[in-house]
Structure 1
Amino acid sequence: MEQASEAKPFCIHCVSGDIIPGTPRGTEQTIGPYKVYVTHPSSGAPADPAKVIVSFTDVFGLELVNNKIIPDLIADQTGFTVYVPDMFHGDSIAQDAVKGMPSTAKEAKAQSFLTKVTKFLSTLKEESGAARIGAVGYCYGGKSCLVFNARGLVDVSVACHPSFINLSDIKSLKGPVLFNCAEQDDVFPTSLRESGAKALGDRHDAPPHEFKVYENTVHGFAARPNLAEPLVKKAFEEALEATASWLKAHL
């Protein structure tokens, strides 16, 4: 059986996938020194300013239209405003991954982005007046939403097929967290998922948590799905609904 320590930091599915059709309806704003995609519920109903959602993207950042369309859908299904920071500052690491950047260099670069986004979260609270922040993260962004959960910087998290994580990331969680997991995933393998579930299950003070596994999926299905494939489309829609339900229930 594969050991949790053997989880890979990156795989081919981290830098591949499909485009979600549609046109983003949000706007790009500046919050502090950060470019941010901001989207509100399409219903036009005023969102509660005390509760907001931050979406942490995969390695493609705001350059990929999916990373704007999915937050639009989350805003609609939750009724909350969603903020998507350009945490790469235009320096997406997708191309670095394609070029074969060594894993240690990828991880070092990824860690540097966590520091930048910490500053974004504090600025967001100051400028928006939000009292509670929910976070959803995809692939690399899943690492962000878990780290900030453990640090108490976000109140509730949804990690969709997260990458770069280890068992200590899961053990340290403070707020409610949902894991949307791919059935086949080298960077968040079954062994790590099961070890994480056991670690939280053994904690008397563990936050509400759930690990949902979606059949017939691979890493990246919730971020860059091939919607022409019925089973993938079904998993994408179910994961999106689960994400919205979790955030609404715990935020």
Structure 2
Amino acid sequence: MAKLGPQCCQNAPTRIPNAGSGHVEKLGGLDAYVTGSPESKFAILLASDAFGFEAPNLRKLADKVAASGFYVVIPDFFRGDSYSPENQDRPLPVWIKDHGPEKGFEYSKPVIEALKSRGIDAIGATGICFGAKVVVELAKRELIQSAVLLHPSLVSLDDIKEVKAPIAVFGAEIDSTTPPELVQQFAEALASKPEVKSYVKIYNNVEHGWSVRYNVDDAEAVKAAEEAHKDMLEWSLIHVK
């Protein structure tokens, strides 16, 4: 089973509460960063990694997806208590006991209902690292129309075998958390389920976290992240309808 290991939480982003062109509001009982036209009938739920919904690159991705016509939300599944590597008294194994992905899954349900109550017809979800486990649980129960997993953590082969919604899995070549060998097993399991549309890709020369925890001053890192963003968006445009 994939794990939430040290590589998950390298290159911690600087949290910027007011980053992005959207705003924060209450949605389904949680604070959430929302961006895009409220008139849209199609929504994307972004489930963050352990660093939470204030990460500027994540909000930049949300704004990019919103520019394609989606209403995008990033719920604060950690309720203001995202993981902080600087807090030596609360290492990752301790933090995750308070914020396991099963809580994120339960918190996501009222968020989805709130989106539906606003007239949203179809909802896709993209999970990043830790958030991928939340999204795969939604896909197993058909609570969303489409799923994307970006460098997932905690997602097992058994999880993938139970997925019922269309799903894309994007893995990193250099990843001790969910190594390419496990991603390949995901691909084989999905290939045996022709009734579930799927796409699996392993990106060369990138490490776990490359899609959101990249250095904005590193042109190659930005290019690699943007490739993943493009693939994620193309998948969502096809399947969230």
2:149 corresponds in structure 1 to 159
Whole-Å Cα distance in 2 between the matches of residues 156 and 193 of structure 1?
Answer: 18
Q: Does the C-alpha gap of structure 1 residues 20 and 213 become closer, same or farther in structure 2, counting only changes over 3 Å?
A: farther
Greater shift, 47-56 or 188-197, is seen at 47-56
Quick one: which of 232, 236, 239 aligns to 1:243? 232
Q: Does the C-alpha gap of structure 1 residues 228 and 148 become closer, same or farther in structure 2, counting only changes over 3 Å?
A: same
1:130 corresponds in structure 2 to 120
Whole-Å Cα distance in 2 between the matches of residues 75 and 204 of structure 1?
Answer: 30
- Structure 2 residues without counterparts, runs of 5 or longer: none
1:141-220 maps to which residues of 2 (within 5 A)?
141-205=131-195, 207-220=196-209
Greater shift, 240-249 or 63-72, is seen at 63-72
Cα offset for 1:112? 2.2
Whole-Å Cα distance in 2 between the matches of residues 221 and 102 of structure 1?
Answer: 22
Structure 1 position 14 matched with structure 2 position 9: yes
Q: Does the C-alpha gap of structure 1 residues 213 and 231 become closer, same or farther in structure 2, counting only changes over 3 Å?
A: farther
Match of 1:52, SS state, is: strand
Cα offset for 1:102? 2.9
Structure 1 position 57 matched with structure 2 position 32: no
Quick one: which of 28, 33, 37 aligns to 1:32? 28
Cα offset for 1:47? 6.7
Match of 2:153, SS state, is: coil
CA contact (8 A) 2:172 2:180 kept: no
Whole-Å Cα distance in 2 between the matches of residues 101 and 19 of structure 1?
Answer: 18
Cα offset for 1:96? 8.8
Cα offset for 1:14? 2.4
CA contact (8 A) 1:15 1:97 kept: no
Cα offset for 1:130? 1.2
Normalised TM-score (structure 1): 0.85
Q: Does the C-alpha gap of structure 1 residues 32 and 229 become closer, same or farther in structure 2, counting only changes over 3 Å?
A: closer
Quick one: which of 190, 212, 215 aligns to 1:223? 212
Whole-Å Cα distance in 2 between the matches of residues 115 and 64 of structure 1?
Answer: 22
Q: How many pairs are equivalent?
A: 237
- Percent identity over the alignment is 30
Whole-Å Cα distance in 2 between the matches of residues 12 and 85 of structure 1?
Answer: 23
Q: Does the C-alpha gap of structure 1 residues 156 and 125 become closer, same or farther in structure 2, counting only changes over 3 Å?
A: same
Whole-Å Cα distance in 1 between the matches of residues 13 and 103 of structure 2?
Answer: 27
| Deviations, residues 57-116 of structure 1 (Å, cap 9, x unaligned) | 11111232222221011112x21111111111111134498643437x726631223222
Letter in 2 for 1:113: G
| Deviations, residues 159-179 of structure 1 (Å, cap 9, x unaligned) | 110111101111111111111
Higher normalized helix content (fraction of residues): 1
Match of 2:58, SS state, is: helix
2:71 corresponds in structure 1 to 81
Cα offset for 1:18? 5.1
Letter in 2 for 1:100: P
Whole-Å Cα distance in 2 between the matches of residues 29 and 18 of structure 1?
Answer: 22
Cα offset for 1:17? 4.6
| Deviations, residues 117-142 of structure 1 (Å, cap 9, x unaligned) | 2232223222x121210111111111
Match of 1:158, SS state, is: strand
CA contact (8 A) 1:19 1:225 kept: no
Q: CA RMSD in A?
A: 2.5
Whole-Å Cα distance in 1 between the matches of residues 150 and 113 of structure 2?
Answer: 24
CA contact (8 A) 1:17 1:226 kept: no
